């Protein structure tokens, strides 16, 4: 593929290009080719987690990760204009219709699912149905807002496939939800309805007060009294310990606050993202791929490439919004992408169906070293942000 002849740089801001631009450009082109080559194998399935041979195990309906393949396809359409990517992404629309039709399938991850599955479709094609679907999803997400505690309830007591866990319904917020606020901010922008914005801001402020610790590390989850909304305690779900700092949770918060700052202009969110990113940078020491949990004991703990990819995309969002520190945050993003390109990159491996090795989905449950579709999506987003692209679906 010829760099000058394609549209990659057309949407990019030349002033934003990093000194690693050529390497990143080649990498994003390999990502697009990987998508193109794997489309006949993957078909309409949606990757959930990689196998040891770097093939995929696919999502059951309603999985929180069900939209990341579509998100990658929409990015590839944006980069190339090739309708093959639009067709493959749009053919997934029934997956999102099914979520809207199933009460148990709806939780805080409606944001990840519908920003990448339907807002992207609307933004890229102007089609009306995905816009209506995304607005419906935003209504459902809004219905999870608990005014007594000013937060969005993360999970449900009964998950779509029958798992019952009453603790999941008891006033819990989680770091990941910061990424889901984008759907509420988008719905506010589309409709002008203040309740979308009030819920997104209420949750962002509550998470800042309770998930982000005074030392700028973060809890994965925080529990409130479900009746009164009183703050109870921080806990973990996927991290090493309640008091530890799970690196992907920190990454969700960095990207989520930086993204919320970009859409609202609220400097409180930008300061929050900056604090969290500076702490992550300090905790990484000389590493280029984050440990799965910054407090996990031992010398060779599993890495989490997905945390690195989310953090890198967040670092470029900071660079874009803090001109005085732009080169610092670009360097941090470049360092994270450098770690992924040096030790996790599968885009040149013809046997691999995904892009990044060494993701840690849930170490406590034994999922410690796999390809992950969200790692791949944010890898593409970070590469594109590093090259100056600014149009995404959040
Ligand atoms: N949102 C779930 C995770 O990051 O694993």
Length of the chain in terms of residues written: 394
Domain assignment present for residue 394? The answer is: no
Question: According to the model, what pLDDT value does residue 134 have?
Answer: 98
Q: Which residues pair with 291 in a beta bridge?
A: 303
Q: Which residues pair with 49 in a beta bridge?
A: 57
In whole angstroms, how far apart are CA 102 and each of 131, 153, 247? 19, 18, 32
Helices 267-284 and 305-321 cross at an angle (nearest 10°) of 130
Ligand 1 site, residue 176, Cβ cutoff 6 A = yes
- Tell how far the Cα of 85 is from the centroid of ligand 1, in angstroms: 26
Does residue 125 have a pLDDT over 80? yes
Closest by CA to 253, choosing from 230, 278, 231, is 278
Could you identify the atom of ligand 1 that is nearest to the CA of residue 252?
A: 4
Question: According to the model, what pLDDT value does residue 169 have?
Answer: 80
**164 Cβ neighbours under 8 A, 6+ residues apart:** 157, 158
63, 107, 121, 176: the active-site residue: 176
Strands 56-58 and 231-235: unpaired
Does residue 252 have a pLDDT over 80? yes
Domain assignment present for residue 392? The answer is: no
In the residue annotation, 293 being an active-site residue is answered as: no
Does residue 8 have a pLDDT over 50? no
Euclidean distance between CA atoms 90 and 291, whole angstroms? 36
Domain assignment present for residue 41? The answer is: yes
Alpha-helix runs per DSSP H in 43-119: 68-80, 83-90, 93-100, 110-114
Ligand 1 site, residue 248, Cβ cutoff 6 A = yes
Euclidean distance between CA atoms 33 and 390, whole angstroms? 22
Burial of 27 (0-12, 13-18, 19+ CB in 10 A): buried
Domain assignment present for residue 206? The answer is: yes
Cα dihedral 140, 209, 215, 153, rounded to 10, equals: -30
Ligand 1 site, residue 238, Cβ cutoff 6 A = yes
Q: Domain of 307: which CATH number?
A: 1.50.10.10
Closest Cα to atom 1, ligand 1: which residue? 176
Could you identify the atom of ligand 1 that is nearest to the CA of residue 306?
A: 4
| Residue/partner pairs of 364-371 with CB below 8 Å, 24 or more apart | 364/238, 364/240, 367/49, 368/292, 368/302, 369/302, 370/49, 370/50, 370/51, 371/47, 371/49, 371/50, 371/54, 371/56, 371/346
Could you identify the atom of ligand 1 that is nearest to the CA of residue 179?
A: 1
Does residue 10 have a pLDDT over 50? no
Closest by CA to 394, choosing from 295, 273, 255, is 255
The answer to whether the CB of 62 falls within 8 A of the CB of 368 is no
| Ligand 1 pocket, mutate which of 374, 375, 377 (most atoms under 8 A from CB) | 374
Domain assignment present for residue 228? The answer is: yes
Domain assignment present for residue 393? The answer is: no
Total domains in the fold of the chain: 1
Closest Cα to atom 2, ligand 1: which residue? 176
Domain assignment present for residue 209? The answer is: yes
- Tell how far the Cα of 176 is from the centroid of ligand 1, in angstroms: 6
Question: According to the model, what pLDDT value does residue 12 have?
Answer: 60
Domain assignment present for residue 112? The answer is: yes
109, 121, 345, 376: the active-site residue: 109
216: left (phi over 0), alpha (psi -120 to 50) or beta: left
Containing domain of residue 199, as a range?
A: 4-386
Euclidean distance between CA atoms 113 and 98, whole angstroms? 12
In the residue annotation, 176 being an active-site residue is answered as: yes
Could you identify the atom of ligand 1 that is nearest to the CA of residue 112?
A: 1
pLDDT digits (tens, 9 = 90+) for 297-353: 998 999 999 999 999 999 999 999 999 999 999 999 999 999 999 999 999 999 999
């Amino acid at each position: 593929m010829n760099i000058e002849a394609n549209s990659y740089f057309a949407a990019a801001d030349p002033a934003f290009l990093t000194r690693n631009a050529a390497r990143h450009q080649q990498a994003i082109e390999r990502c697009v080719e990987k998508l193109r080559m794997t489309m006949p194998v993957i078909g309409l399935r949606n990757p959930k987690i990689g196998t040891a041979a770097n093939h995929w195990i696919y999502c059951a309906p309603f999985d929180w990760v069900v939209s990341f393949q579509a998100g990658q396809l929409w990015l590839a359409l944006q980069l190339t204009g090739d309708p093959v990517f639009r067709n493959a992404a749009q053919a997934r629309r029934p997956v999102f219709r099914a979520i809207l039709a199933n009460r148990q399938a709806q939780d805080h991850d409606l944001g990840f699912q519908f920003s990448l599955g339907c807002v992207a479709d609307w933004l890229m094609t102007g089609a009306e149905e995905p816009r209506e679907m995304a607005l419906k999803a935003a209504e459902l997400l809004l219905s999870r807002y608990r005014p007594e505690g000013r937060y969005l309830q993360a999970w449900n007591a009964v998950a779509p496939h029958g798992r019952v866990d009453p603790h999941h319904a008891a006033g819990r917020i989680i770091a990941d939800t910061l990424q889901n606020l984008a759907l509420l901010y988008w719905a506010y922008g589309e409709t002008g309805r203040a309740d979308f914005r009030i819920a997104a801001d209420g949750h962002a402020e509550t998470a800042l007060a309770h998930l982000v610790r005074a030392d700028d590390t973060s809890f994965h989850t925080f529990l409130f009294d479900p009746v009164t909304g009183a703050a109870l305690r921080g806990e973990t779900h996927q991290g090493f310990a309640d008091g530890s700092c799970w690196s992907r949770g920190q990454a969700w918060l960095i990207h989520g606050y930086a993204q919320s700052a970009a859409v609202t202009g609220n400097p409180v969110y930008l300061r929050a993202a900056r604090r969290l990113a500076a702490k992550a940078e300090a905790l990484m020491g000389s590493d280029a791929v984050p440990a799965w949990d910054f407090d996990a004991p031992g010398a060779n703990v599993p890495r989490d490439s997905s945390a690195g990819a989310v953090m890198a995309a967040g670092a470029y969002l900071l660079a874009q919004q803090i001109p005085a520190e732009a080169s610092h945050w670009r360097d941090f993003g470049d360092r994270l992408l450098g770690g992924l390109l040096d030790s996790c990159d599968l885009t040149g491996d013809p046997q691999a169906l995904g892009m990044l090795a060494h993701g840690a989905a849930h170490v406590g449950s034994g999922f410690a070293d796999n390809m992950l579709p969200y790692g791949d999506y944010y890898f593409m987003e970070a590469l594109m942000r590093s090259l100056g692209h600014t149009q995404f679906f959040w």
